[in-house]
A and B are shown apart, each in its own frame.
Chain A
């Protein structure tokens, strides 16, 4: 998985790229709350479709993303299988009923409710993934900091997030280089050839140079920031943030509506005890 493709530092040209940082961050926040609050497939499906549309609207190089998409889908399916193995009676827990479909053993039965729950869960995970992917692809670290700042978060914390995103590709590249050069020196990381504890000990050999190179940067970066007067003022403005355009105003209506819906849904969930997962039968 190459992160160089995911975090972009240059703003793009499509509709989503051109929205201001504030709009993107707020839209992302309300959508994430929306996805966390519900396991309801009726609510998740529209966001999933919107996420797909958003991804295509970005006109990114899908071939470059193929690897991460395959990886995430495979991992989520694996997670679902592990979920099933951990507790095959989730249907009972959530819907209070079980309809047998077929069974492997006495404990490992497959019920329609269970399949429905796991499907909802998978869709929820994939929708969350799509929303995060579109968000990451459409935003630059600087815009993200500007957006967070406009949500009322102190600018020092925004800077932490911005710098972290800025340096992930660099640190990832260092990590790969150190890993490859250590493997060239005979460090065995293949799971077929070394046990877990052995691999863990080998990982230390990668970690130490990685930690040292990463934290050696801190002095340079902080000196450069200090020299430019970082942290002297109480407020901060962002070069990447622009005035709200007509598109921003339209999206603002959308995210405000979703925000209102979020609040109402959560309130309704607490007051009326709506079941966690919607099951039609």
Chain B
């Protein structure tokens, strides 16, 4: 297979498989956001949903990951009943872009490639991405659309960032490792 360029990896190929993958990712995101979370602070909880964009990103690329996170968050808001917070949806989509960037630095979960090097890059990307998404992007849109309330958004941003980083590292790395190990079994043939 021809090696894809960086931009192609970033955009992902939008074929039927990717569309279905993004949809399933968004559904999973919605379900986990509503039912698989541990409440920490107002409108913010230790949700395991952020794992989903990581997986979507690993399988299909960063932009599909962002779409899954953004659409998933809107769906979660729709069935969750806490009102629509599109500032957070956009923040989550931006974060999805970062955490879903696994193929860009050579971690191919589908082929079972996820090594220590990738874990370290993943951890750094998670921390930088969260800080950017919740510290900069979300407050910006909050200010733009809802005005005022910045103190509370910043509180939520800090709590949300910390809990997201914990989830993405404590739960994300083991999940990725297991998935990589599972896929590696299918491809341990070596060329002689």
A contacts, CB < 8 Å to B: 1, 3, 6-7, 32, 35-36, 68, 71-72, 75-76, 78-79, 82-83, 86-87, 93-94, 124-125, 128-129, 132-133, 135-136, 156-157, 159-168, 171-172, 175, 191, 196-197, 199-201, 203-204, 206-208, 210-212, 214-215, 217-219, 221-222, 225-226, 230-231, 276
Contact = CB atoms under 8 A, between A and B. Distances in A.
Contacts of B155: 86
Contacts of A201: 170-171
Nearest to A216: B24
A51 to B, nearest CB: 12
Most buried by A among B24, B52, B145: B24
B132 to A, nearest CB: 23
Contacts of B82: 72, 75-76, 79, 125, 129
Interface residues of B, number: 58
Interface of B: 14-17, 19-24, 26-28, 30-32, 34-36, 38, 41-43, 46, 48, 51-52, 55, 59, 67, 71-72, 75, 77-84, 86, 145-148, 151-152, 155, 166-167, 170-171, 174-175, 178-179, 182
Contacts of B30: 164, 168
B71 A204 contact: no
Nearest to A215: B24
A79 B151 CA distance: 15
A200 B46 contact: yes
Contact of A204 (B21, B59, B83, B171): B171
B46 A208 contact: no
A128 B86 CA distance: 13
Contact of A167 (B19, B23, B179): B23
A36 B84 contact: yes
A276 B147 contact: yes
Contacts of B16: 222, 225-226, 230-231
